[in-house]
Amino acid sequence: MTKTGPWIVAMALAGTAWLGAQGAPPTQTPAAPGGRAMRPPKPETVTNPDGHIVQSEVQKLRVEVVARGLETPWGLAFLPDGRLLVTERPGRLRIVDHGKLSDPVVGLPKVEQVQDGGLMDVEVHPKYAENGWIYLSYAEPGPNNTSLTERADNNTGMTAIIRGKIDATNHWVDQQFIFHAAPEFYTTTHIHYGSRFVFDKQDHLFFSLGEHGAPENAQDLSKPTGKIHRVNDDGSIPKDNPFVNHPGAVPSIWSYGHRNPQGLAFDPVTGELWETEHGPNGGDELNIIKPGHNYGWAVVSNGRQPGVTETSRAGMDSPIVFWTPSIAPAGIAFATSDRYPKWKHQLFVTALGGQVLRRIVIDHDRVTHQEVVFDNLGRVRDIIVGPDGLFYVATALPGQRLSDTTEGFILRLVPIS
């Protein structure tokens, strides 16, 4: 689907989603004085969510706190034995074992914990029981950095991706780089790291990189930023990647024209790769990712960006849905368990700015319905399905800015009717 093809427009207003007719022009969100899109008043945040009851349209839930006392939890991944790996953005990797939070894993690389940067996603190799590999993404400080905790004009950072193992003494060992950018890509902007992981059934690792505040790079195939990448599990390049034989292109690129993609998930029914990304002042996107396709940033956008005046262009894929005002979408997951029979095969999107868990009903490549499941439990960063078939969600209490480090929780959503 290109930018000139049909689309569905969703407006997140007052906690409700509006769906425009396919082929219709985007509906304008009502604007406040000064031309800024109006936001609904935020509900009061539940600071102790344990036992909180959520009544969605088709499912009643009890929220259980699995772990508390975390600082801005970012990524979640289960080990085969049921223990849960959690990254904290300030640079810690923890293990939750039956409600007990471990000490931080020792020996992780130093991270640049400034603005959006820090320790980000975590993923477990599909064959972890055989090889023990764990994958991490983080903001790696450049060689000229003067501080890892304060923003300075000459401090640089860039997304790095590694794999390693946790030994019996809780140490990070056998580290290998999966992606490590050239020095010229390290930047002082400290924003738009992207950084979500997903494995396919052939054990290819997909990972997202934001454009790090340089929108023009998202269209440049010689630069890794503003892209979704696909590599083998050891970081080598699959021979069938779309740009592997394109002169000058980064061979790991799978798709391009992305701004800040923070959600990746495969549809268990169709096998399609779905993605969410942050737009500029609105225009957050939900996309289906196709190899070699161009998703338009920063030539076109449904958000507001100086110099970007088009919302569509031939050869650039339109979002399946976009949200204005922004909800700042992050991790996504499909409901694959019989524990939620009325949610089976539906997509769940976490959101930071909207502090929302959003349910999305999909019919192949169309969104037919949306619901806000809850919007009062803090910023929602990641969601995964546990071995018990239940959703586990990473949240953090809101601060003044999205980049603030605040207390976080791991929540389990238990159906009660």
Which of the residues are catalytic? Answer: 190
Q: What one-letter code names the amino acid at 40?
A: P
> CA-CA distance, 205 to 200, in Å (whole number)?
7
Q: What is the 3-state secondary structure (H, E, C) of 130-197?
A: HHCCEEEEEEEECCCCCCCCCCCCCCCEEEEEEEEEECCCCEEEEEEEEECCCHHHCECCCCCCCCCE
Q: What one-letter code names the amino acid at 360?
A: I
Q: Which residues pair with 53 in a beta bridge?
A: 62
Question: Across the beta sheet with 205-209, what order do the strands follow?
Answer: 197-199, 205-209, 227-231, 253-256
Cβ proximity of 334 and 346 under 8 Å: yes
> CA-CA distance, 173 to 255, in Å (whole number)?
32
Tally the residues of the chain: 417
Q: What one-letter code names the amino acid at 283?
A: G
> CA-CA distance, 45 to 406, in Å (whole number)?
13
Q: What one-letter code names the amino acid at 34?
A: G
Strand blocks (E) in 197-308: 197-199, 205-209, 227-231, 253-256, 261-266, 273-277, 284-289
> CA-CA distance, 286 to 366, in Å (whole number)?
11
78-116: burial string, b at 16+ Cβ within 10 Å, e else: bbeeeebbbbbbbbbbbbbeeeebbebbeebbebbbbbb
152-181: burial string, b at 16+ Cβ within 10 Å, e else: eeebbbbbbbbbbebeeeeebeeeeebbeb
Least Cα distance to 82 among 93, 68, 66 occurs for: 66
